[in-house]
Structure 1
Amino acid sequence: MQPIVRVSILRCPPDRFGEMRQMMVELEQTLRPGIEEMPGFLAFYTGADEATSSLSNVSLWVDLDAAKQLDRFQPMLDSGKPFVDKGATFERPVMNYSTLWQMQSASRN
């Protein structure tokens, strides 16, 4: 069975990008412990792209049921409201991609 790649994208006003980027950085301490304990969790990456005024969460899960745990993870749900209150929008629905192929770096520098 191939893993599921879950992608959540937040778009924010360009003039609030720096503030929202910092908010996302600070969320790690709230979200990390619960996510790391979820069955089927493999990896989680949070990114920021100033050129598109967007922030992303990309995570890797063993299957769709495992990925959908984030739909019910209350700290994650609660974390979105402060962003929305400051003008952010979330692309919905959250995307859960079936893996078609994958690769990893042969050398881990």
Structure 2
Amino acid sequence: MGRAAKSNDEYRAYLSTIMPLYSNFTVAVLQEIHDAETHTCIIHASSKAETEIGQYGNEYALILTFTEDGKQVTRFEEFVDSAYSERFVAALAKATSSQ
């Protein structure tokens, strides 16, 4: 989606601006695959929420890379249905800005 990487603090600040637009936001982990040899975990997840323009729902692939001892995450990558996200966020922004 062309977004720059964010620190934890930057991502928290970003979420604090958009999460009020969603209610009953839930995430379900559909599958996890752990690879001890490469120190990675891949997670297939989905989310859903209610908004003033209707139900939101998306799927995610999350890839976490860990230190060799597995105690810290060194990289976090998120893949999302970007076309859906862009359309939905634009429609939600339009609806909320017209109020």
Greater fraction of residues in helix: 1
Relative to the length of structure 1, the TM-score reads 0.24
TM-score (norm 2): 0.26
Q: Which has the higher contact order (CA 8 A, sep 6+)?
A: 1
- Highest Rg: 1 or 2? 2
User: Which protein is richer in strand relative to its size?
Assistant: 2
